Amino acid sequence: MNAAGSRTQSVRRGAVTLLAAAAVYEVTARSGIFPAALVPTLPAVLQTLWSMLLDGTMLTHAFHTVYRMVCGLALAIVVGLPLGILMARFRAVEQFFLPLVSVFMPIPSLAWVPVFILWFGLGNTTTILVVFYAATFPMVLNAWTGVRSVNPLWLRAAGAMGAEGRDLFWKVIVPGASPFIITGVRQAFLRSFVAVVGAEIIAASAWGLGWVIFDAKEFLNTDVMLASLAVIGCIGFAFERLVFGSLERATILRWGMVRAAKS
Amino acid sequence: MPQIEVRDVTLVYDTPSGQVPGVRGVNFAMEASEFLCIVGPSGCGKTTLLNILAGFLAPGSGEIRIGGKAVTGQGLDRGIVFQDFAQLFPWRTALGNVAFGLEMKGIPKAEREAIAMEQLRLVKLEKFAQSYPHHLSGGMQQRVAIARALAYNPAVLLMDEPFAALDALTRDEMQRLLAEVWRETRKTVIYVTHNVAEAVFLADRVVVMTPHPGTVKTQVRIGLRRPRDPLSVEFLEYQKELLRHLTEQTATAA
């Protein structure tokens, strides 16, 4: 089967799964077991979503969330990627940073939110720093592992052809470690998305998807909460499939460094 | 003056379980454009010797001189082809792989791609210039590796059992191709193999090595006209002679 055909089929399969889940929810909502205010029907949720999209509030919330996430994630990549690579290349860097990574990595990023609020106040700085904290470790670990797993034959062949310094780094080590680096960015994204919504619930004021969910709880606006959750899911899905999916297809899949699943 | 001189090269490996001799007192010399095969059973130190020649390892004592200059590390005067297909860079096309050495030398893109294309033509892969290594067969990947090692025009080509992982038919084809490439480029080649027929087919001279410790047992000059016929009586005589040297040493070792 050609690639386009299998793509359409996977979209169709995904749609079937989602529709089945929606049907189960809808039946539950209409069964009368739970109060309608707590479990609104899907049409009610969709209507709320639609009106929030129309008046622009949902887009503004989403924009704030994505903005904070992208800032924190970019910061994490800028710091974590070079740090991981340096740790793999220089023993002194590894010996200095590895204990720090081991100590700080297991601390949930959200546990830092109250501390960061005291230090940096409510708002963007705190949220971005929490995202940065959450995303840095997967980036560091994957870059570190990736560089250490570069095939030594590539290094030998490159060395025999006179590659050293920057050339060796950019043209051999980075592409050689790219399956891990891409996985690292992917994991960093997932962690940062979880962190940004969590941090907004605690630390944001007035805007952001996490904040809107928390705010809606005060007024029992379950439809607003569910509509926001749907938007969070859609944004995550879009990043995961479009951004990282295309990145993979353009690089490591094309180079045969990883393979698509057989069936 | 010979182009390559290997003088009394000795290397001992330090391992956790003690010292393991790699090679001891290896001596030989080569003229420019000579095709030299090093044969020996596994563990005789032939790959160790090649790694010293390549500059990946420094000898414990003795020295290697290429063009009168002592070898002190890796250098663009030597091209290297390994046994493992994975030696190619998977993120570069065949052309990109072949052009790598020229890129490191700072040769402009258009020029280096023209040279790389010429090298791919030499190994009959010009149609696959834009293919990534994972779309090429093992034999084709090794041909790209040969083109890559030749592209920056090193004086010496070092080859470590480059066809050992190929099936027998492809190997025969590759040997003929390599003989042709050598005739056209007249490189000085040092070719490590454990395959006696391959050595007789390719070499001007064969260095036979013995293990424990790895040292040169004898050298056999192959006085056959090229292209060589592997089924001729003379060819088989040379094969027998090499095998005899190899089995003698096995008997002594046992």
- Chain centroid offset of residue B36 CA: 9
Among A13-17, B17-21, B98-102, B136-140, where is mean pLDDT lowest? B17-21
Alpha-carbon Rg for chain B in angstroms: 18
Contact B89, B100 (CB under 8 A): yes
- CATH number assigned to the domain comprising residue A172: 1.10.3720.10
Contacts of B55 in chain A (CB under 8 A): 160
A130 in the same domain as A20: no
Cβ distance B80 to A157 less than 8 Å, yes or no, reads yes
Nearest CA in chain B to A150: B89
Could you tell me whether strands B35-39 and B18-30 are parallel, antiparallel, or unpaired per DSSP bridges?
A: unpaired
A182 in the same domain as A152: yes
Per-residue pLDDT band at A95 (split at 50, 70, 90)? very high
Q: For A39-79, how does the pLDDT look when each residue is reduced to its tens digit (9 = 90+)?
A: 999 999 999 999 999 999 999 999 999 999 999 999 999 99
Nearest CA in chain A to B57: A156
Per-residue pLDDT band at B249 (split at 50, 70, 90)? low
Q: Give the H or E element holding residue A114.
A: helix A113-120
Q: For A177-198, how does the pLDDT look when each residue is reduced to its tens digit (9 = 90+)?
A: 999 999 999 999 999 999 999 9
d(CA A260, CA B62): 51
Strand partners, A117: none
CB–CB contacts below 8 A, A to B: 68
Cβ distance B74 to A160 less than 8 Å, yes or no, reads yes
Per-residue pLDDT band at A4 (split at 50, 70, 90)? low
From-to residues of CATH 3.40.50.300 in chain B: 1-77+156-173+187-254
Per the structure, the count of domains in chain A is 2
d(CA B143, CA A224): 63
For residue B63, report the phi and psi dihedrals to the nearest 5 degrees: -150, 160
Order of strands across the sheet that contains B4-15: B18-30, B4-15, B61-66, B69-70
Cβ distance B101 to A159 less than 8 Å, yes or no, reads no
Is the CATH number of domain B1-77+156-173+187-254 3.40.50.300?
yes
Residue A263 maps to a domain: no
Cβ distance A251 to B148 less than 8 Å, yes or no, reads no
d(CA A160, CA A261): 35
| Chain A residues within 8 angstroms (CB to CB) of chain B | 151, 153-154, 156-163, 167, 171-172, 175-176, 178, 251, 254-257
Q: For B36-46, how does the pLDDT look when each residue is reduced to its tens digit (9 = 90+)?
A: 999 998 888 89
pLDDT(A206) > 90: no
Question: Apex CA A257: angle with CA B76 and CA A94, to 5°?
Answer: 75
Mean pLDDT of A114-130: 92
Please give the torsion angle defined by the CA atoms of residues A51, A56, A61 and A62, in that order, rounded to the nearest 10 degrees: 90
Residue of A154, A155, A161, A174 to mutate, interface with B, max B Cβ within 10 Å: A161
pLDDT at residue number A143: 96
Predicted TM-score (pTM) of the model is 0.85
pLDDT(B137) > 80: yes
Q: Give me the count of residues in chain B.
A: 254
Contacts of B103 in chain A (CB under 8 A): 167, 171
Q: For B72-104, how does the pLDDT look when each residue is reduced to its tens digit (9 = 90+)?
A: 888 889 999 999 999 999 999 999 999 999 999
Q: Which domain holds residue A103?
A: 37-250
Contacts of B98 in chain A (CB under 8 A): none
Residue A261 maps to a domain: no
Residue B86, C-beta contacts closer than 8 angstroms, at least 6 positions apart: A151, A153, A154
pLDDT at residue number A2: 62
A153 in the same domain as A28: no
Per-residue pLDDT band at B254 (split at 50, 70, 90)? very low
Per-residue pLDDT band at B14 (split at 50, 70, 90)? confident
A64 in the same domain as A96: yes
pLDDT at residue number A32: 85
Nearest CA in chain A to B152: A161
A17 in the same domain as A97: no
A45 in the same domain as A155: yes
